[in-house]
Amino acid sequence: MSISCYGLLLVLFVLTPLGLGWPLAVRCTKDPLEQVCAALLLGFVFCFLITFGLYASGLPWAGFALVPVVAMAGLCWRRAAIRSLWRDDDARHAIIGCILVMGWTQALALLVRSYNGGAWGVDWLEHHQRALFFREHWDYAFDFFGYQLPVRPPFANLTVAGFETLTYPTFACDQVVLALWSSFVFLPAALFCRRAGGARHLPVLVGLLLLNPSFVQNATFAWTKLPAAFFVLTSAHFFLEALNAPERRAYFALFVTALTAAMLTHYSAGPYCVIFAGWWLLWRLHGRAWSALRVEAVTGALIAIPLLGLWLGWALDHYGVTRTFFVNSTTINSGPPGWDLQLARIGRNLWATLIPHPLRSVDYSFIAQPSRLGWFRDYFFLIVQVNLPALLGTGGLVALACATLRDWKSWARQTGVVKPVWVLTALAACSVLGVAVHGAPDEWGLAHICLQPLALVGLALLAARIDRIGRIGGLILGVGLAWDAGVNIGLHFLLEARAPAPEWLALHNPTQALLQYGPAALNASLKDVAGVRFLHDWFPGFAAPLILLAIVLMATAVWLRASTQYHRSPAAGL
């Protein structure tokens, strides 16, 4: 992969989905920031439909080269709306913020020589193999580290395969695409920040994301959880808009489209489907909005059934019912039968997800390893990744509590929260379901599986109310951000940037490397045996990413300073 190929990939992946969805997005909503989110949502759906069509029909993947041309035509066709977009303060600041977040994640991805951290293992290679499965038409019976294709949905893998065809078919392409896609979560998070009355604090949201360990670690690990979170957050925004404006049917259509895309990207979106469906039904029945209920039910069915049916129908045809629905990590690791035992398992997992391991008794042999720095990093990695309160960063939850409790009535009145009890009930239900869907017991915590969207909304609300956290909250947040920058981000990427130990690679056996040296050795050995080249291997110099990191940090600091002069537009009500 050359510098020009890398630059081309950056431009194509941003502009192609945006251009595909832009003409339709400007017809669905008049709000510029909503238009950007809707355009990316619809553009990604079109990319999925096109790539799935190319694969299923057997047509050459080179046909995907026409997609960016159509996308550029879509942008040119609606160029007047783009000019209006840039004149809107909220949209312009959100776009600038998203660019900074994208630059940060790309710079960090350039530092990664080998993945390590906690029990992170083969997922990165599995997702790369899934993209190759579609692009190279592998045999249906191919084994993805113990599972077959239907265990995971194909949305992101097919899209990655399309962009591999446009540029360079290497794992480095996966890293670039998935890090950019993960960075897009800033845009729907910006909508929530504005919804909470804090549009002028979008620079603060940028800073919180740049220094949030869970976000940067997941954004630079080549898997599909944050791309799914982008769709979940987008669906949540349009869902809340649709509840209060049933006459705006486009909002409900965008909500269903986004939630369906999330399910096709990662099955961790399942709990949100259940919660939103229940909330929508209860809300309409509570308000006796029978007409809106009928229209929205038909609209949702017409969107979700064809999209889900496209994938599930194909999977059922080629793999059958058992391998499509019942051979995955949730069902085969569900533990012993019996409701009492299942409830006990869920309770233990929920406790582990809410309470960090230093406050409980756990088996620390899980992170035993020769490297003291590695053990130290893993000790805190297994807090910020898997515990729900820590997903907001060290001190983030305390700061959010300070900001909320100091002026709750004003905040609720300003944002127009429908009923706080509805929101709190939905959050609690998402947390419980997000843990319950995991089949196996886990003594460390499961927040990383399904609960990242909740943390991103929490960061958006914290940014919106940053001027309400008080001195104590500000001190706790500042110390927490400094700790995260030094340990949970700095040390983490320092270890990922180090050359693997020679004895790890000398084994030439990933399984043996795992047994002798741990998960970090497994990843290094897998990379070596599979002959995979990371982004770092194509551009091995540290100077470029470090310079880019410094530029992003300085630009964000200047923007944070200038944000006090930014007068926000009127915020939309919830």
138-189 pLDDT, tens digit per residue, is 999 898 888 889 999 999 999 999 999 988 889 999 999 999 999 999 999 9
* DSSP state for residue 571 in the 8-state scheme: P
Choose among 372, 368, 369, 348: nearest CA to 360. Answer: 348
Band of pLDDT at residue 233, cut at 50, 70 and 90: very high
Mean pLDDT computed over 362-379: 89
Choose among 30, 100, 14, 81: nearest CA to 563. Answer: 100
Question: Alpha helix (H) ranges present in 112-152?
Answer: 123-136
Mean pLDDT computed over 57-71: 93
In this structure, what token pair is assigned to residue 276? 């939103």
Give helix 3-28 / helix 32-57 axis angle, nearest 10°. 110
Rg (CA), the chain: 23
Name the more confident of 334 and 408: 408
CA distance 513 to 515: 6
241-264 pLDDT, tens digit per residue, is 988 777 788 999 999 999 999 999
Alpha carbon 541 to chain centroid, angstroms:
28
The amino acid occupying position 456 is L
CA distance 136 to 458: 41
Band of pLDDT at residue 568, cut at 50, 70 and 90: very low
320-348 pLDDT, tens digit per residue, is 888 887 766 565 555 556 677 778 888 89
Choose among 400, 416, 417, 407: nearest CA to 466. Answer: 400
91-127 pLDDT, tens digit per residue, is 999 999 999 999 999 989 999 999 999 888 889 999 9
The residue ranges of every structural domain in the chain are: 93-565
265-280 pLDDT, tens digit per residue, is 999 999 999 999 998 8
CA distance 236 to 259: 8
Using a 10 angstrom Cβ sphere, with 0-12 exposed, 13-18 middle and 19 or more buried, the burial of residue 7 is exposed
CA distance 157 to 132: 9
The number of beta carbons lying within 10 Å of the beta carbon of residue 73 is 13
Choose among 283, 16, 29: nearest CA to 159. Answer: 16
Provide, rounded to the nearest whole percent, the portion of the chain with pLDDT above 90. 56
Per-residue pLDDT at 417: 47
Asked whether the predicted pLDDT for residue 3 surpasses 90, the reply is no
Question: Alpha helix (H) ranges present in 147-224?
Answer: 155-166, 171-183, 186-195, 202-210, 213-220
464-505 pLDDT, tens digit per residue, is 888 888 888 889 999 999 999 999 999 999 999 998 989 999
CA distances from 273 to 231, 232, 258, 261, 303 (A): 12, 9, 11, 11, 14
Per-residue pLDDT at 75: 92
Entry pTM? 0.93
